[in-house]
Amino acid sequence: MSTNNRKPTETPPPRPMGPRGGRGSGPGGLGAGVGDKAKNFAKSSRRLLGYMANHKITLIFVILTAIAATVFSIVAPKVMGQATTKIYEGIMGQGGLDYAGIANILVTLTILYIFGSVFTFIQGFVMAGVSQRIIYDMREQINAKMSKLPMKFYDGMPHGELLSRVTNDIDSISNTLQQSITQVITAVVTIVGVIVMMLSINAWLTLITAITLPLSFVIVRKIVKKSQGYFIAQQKELGQMNGHVEEVFSGHNIVKAYGLEDKVTNEFDAINAKLYESAWKSQFISGIMMPLMQLVGNIGYVGVCVVGGIFVTNGQITIGDMQAFIQYVRNFTRPIADTANIANILQSTIASAERVFEILDQEEELPDKADAVEIDVPKGDVDFAGVGFSYDPKTPLINNMNIQAHAGDTIAIVGPTGAGKTTIVNLLMRFYEIQGGSISIDGIDIRDLKRTNLRKMFGMVLQDTWLFNGTIKENIAYGINNATDEDIINAAKTAHADHFIRTLPHGYDTVINEEANNLSLGQNQLLTIARAILANPDVLILDEATSNVDTRTELLIQKAMNELMKGRTSFVIAHRLSTIKDADVILVMNHGTLIEQGTHEQLLEQNGFYADLYNSQFTGKKSKIA
């Protein structure tokens, strides 16, 4: 099927930054050389901010508490310095220690600390609530959207990709909301606050510390840039590794049967060796960020000790001021690393958000018409009139297809694999929209029907059986909301699944595991047949349904199917001659198009593709078999 509809059909042209675009452009400027880049940073970040708008008041509260907490922690060192000064003066001077004064200062300090911690806690606690709420909403939006997306979208996007967007990308947004936002606020307030406090103590010492600022920034940027390259390489090789392992393990029997162990192991070793190189390098480079930042911090520390020491000797500042300065220098490194890194975090978060938004922006299935009707008692006349369809506009597939099936008819669809037999199913069920002509049931265009009503009329047994992680009972009852145990067992009996179900350890309550590999393919198929039987549809679609079921069971299923098909219009994608020969209409498909149509006899008379197909079966049988 079409694979090139991955990109959103409507990519809005990049707009110049709006009035609020300036917000995004600031950190965006720092984010140069980042691998995971947002396509439209300003627009997407505005949209992400939109999610927070609902929690505006709470968020303002969070910001205020974050600022408060930071302010308390910034003031504290200076107060503590005063205590040290009092002690120092006490022993250097004559009057002895001013215990009352010291006690006073320490009480103030304690109160500051308590407030600081309380505010930090409130901030974290409230933010946890807000961010989880936002994340929940986002997942829920995707969830709701998924019900409305057309099949075309799902056929075009690999499952892994979609899964990753719902889990990894949302996870990364969640982390940013929970931590990074308050981190930035705290960091900015800290840097500004600390500089103010420093200036209030001594301008020269502030200058010494401030010199380290740009130095740290440069170091962080350099390292981030350098490590990014290795991280990208690591990611790429990790992808190759995953691909290789998946392929080799999935094809284990072939690897063994053909003695390919050495070959695949050599390939593995080569990828593993490359992965090792990029992995340890990226880890190392990103790991030296902390030590280097620490070095810058230590240089500032030494500067403060020396110059501060001299100033204290001169009497320009007090010993407590010097102590406070030392703490400020210590508190400086982390917020700088945080802000320097925030550009990257924001970039990748916005890129994640964009991938999520891309899903949310996908074109939805055409909604049911406002005046859509329902057929209460369907007869099962199905009529394709001049139907035109293609998955990809460039390669037309079906032109002017006409099929008339009367209620109760069996329509056999035959043709080589890849001939487009499932296309008919896609159109009948309105998984895809036709581009010309009309398909009608009982004379009503299916586009005028409610989708639920349309699909309720159909029972479908697909070649790819689908069971979910639940009990057998739940799986059979999937089509029906209020099926009794008796109904379920009867359906299973009709599908000849009852016997094997009863031999399972927990019978009907046996849980089908995640990969549905605790049952055989044939058993899976029997269950889906039971499911279709229970649903009691008006029109049946059997998509090569019996090809996985063993021959003996097939006999039994055939009986059940014949029973089921009685009085129902049935579309059967068939391989077996007996089904085909008994069909009221045979549709012969090749290369995606309907090439012949008629009864068995009519088609044999035409002496075309079908006749060829049919005769080859006989010649193949008469001669000796390989």
Partner 1 sequence: MKKLLRYAGKYKLQFLILVITVSLQVAAQLYLPNLMSDIVNNGIANGDVPYIWQIGGFMLIVAFASTIASVSTSFLASRIAVGLTTGVRAKVFKNVETFSLGEIDKAGGTATLITRTTNDITQVQRFLIMALRMMIMAPIMCIGGIIMAVGKDLFLSQILGIVIVVIALVITVIAKTSMPLFKSMQKKIDKLNLVLRERLTGLRVIRAFNKDVYEHDRFDDANKDLTKTTLTVNRIMSFMMPLVMLGMNIATVLFIWFGATRIDSGILQVGDLMAFIQYAMNIMFSLVMTSMMFIMLPRASASADRIAEILDIETTITDPEMPKRTSENGGYIDFENVTFKYPNAEVPALSNLSFKAGPGEVTAIIGGTGSGKSTIFNLMLRFYDVTSGSIKIDGVDIRELTQKQLRDKIGYVPQRAVLFNGTIKENIAFGDMQAPMEKIENAAVTAQALNFINEKDEKFDSVVSQGGTNISGGQKQRLSIARALTRDASIYLFDDSFSALDFKTEANLRNALREKTAHASVIISGQRVASIMDSDRIIVLNEGEVAGIGTHDELMKTCTVYKEIVASQLSEEELAS
User: C-beta of 179: minimal distance to partner 1 in Å?
Assistant: 10
Q: Pick one of 376, 486, 514, 601: the residue that binds partner 1 (CB under 8 A).
A: 514
Number of chain residues interacting with partner 1 (CB under 8 A) = 168
Q: Pick one of 405, 429, 561, 585: the residue that binds partner 1 (CB under 8 A).
A: 429
Residue type, 48: L
Regarding 10 and contact with partner 1 (CB under 8 A), the answer is no
Regarding 118 and contact with partner 1 (CB under 8 A), the answer is yes
Regarding 593 and contact with partner 1 (CB under 8 A), the answer is no
Token readout for 359 is 């899903």
Binding part of the chain for partner 1, among 7-15, 110-118, 203-211, 354-362 by CB under 8 A, reads: 110-118
Binding part of the chain for partner 1, among 163-171, 191-199, 200-208, 432-440 by CB under 8 A, reads: 163-171
Interface characters, 544-573, with partner 1 (x: CB under 8 A) = ---xxxxxxxxx--x---------------
User: C-beta of 427: minimal distance to partner 1 in Å?
Assistant: 13
Binding part of the chain for partner 1, among 187-195, 198-206, 600-608, 615-623 by CB under 8 A, reads: 615-623
Q: Pick one of 195, 210, 372, 462: the residue that binds partner 1 (CB under 8 A).
A: 462
Inter-CA distances, 224 with 296, 338, 435, 496, Å: 17, 12, 51, 63
Of 460, 467, 527, residue with least CA distance to 493: 527
Residue type, 334: R
Query: For residue 442, what are the β-bridge partners?
Result: none
Regarding 272 and contact with partner 1 (CB under 8 A), the answer is yes
Q: Pick one of 48, 109, 187, 201: the residue that binds partner 1 (CB under 8 A).
A: 109
Judged on CB neighbours under 10 Å (0-12, 13-18, 19+), 338 is buried
Round to whole Å and give the CA distance between 361 and 251.
38
Of 315, 322, 542, 318, residue with least CA distance to 424: 542
Q: Pick one of 294, 435, 602, 607: the residue that binds partner 1 (CB under 8 A).
A: 294
* Distance from chain centroid for Cα 335: 32
Running DSSP on this structure, what letter comes out for residue 575? -
Q: Pick one of 11, 54, 117, 602: the residue that binds partner 1 (CB under 8 A).
A: 117
Token readout for 407 is 């209620």
Identity of the residue, 371 or 612, whose beta carbon is nearer to partner 1 in the bound complex? 612
Identity of the residue, 63 or 288, whose beta carbon is nearer to partner 1 in the bound complex? 288
Quickly list DSSP for 172-191. Answer: HHHHIIIIIHHHHHHHHHHH
User: C-beta of 175: minimal distance to partner 1 in Å?
Assistant: 10
Token readout for 598 is 């008629």
Given a contact cutoff of 8 angstroms between Cβ atoms, the answer to whether 389 and 432 are in contact is yes
Given a contact cutoff of 8 angstroms between Cβ atoms, the answer to whether 534 and 487 are in contact is yes
Regarding 395 and contact with partner 1 (CB under 8 A), the answer is no
Angle at 473 between CA 471 and CA 475, to 5 degrees: 70
Quickly list DSSP for 202-213. Answer: -HHHHHHHHHHH
Binding part of the chain for partner 1, among 51-59, 188-196, 256-264, 439-447 by CB under 8 A, reads: 256-264
Interface characters, 78-97, with partner 1 (x: CB under 8 A) = --x--xx--xx-xxx---xx
Binding part of the chain for partner 1, among 14-22, 129-137, 385-393, 592-600 by CB under 8 A, reads: 129-137
Round to whole Å and give the CA distance between 616 and 7.
44
Identity of the residue, 34 or 83, whose beta carbon is nearer to partner 1 in the bound complex? 83
Regarding 469 and contact with partner 1 (CB under 8 A), the answer is yes
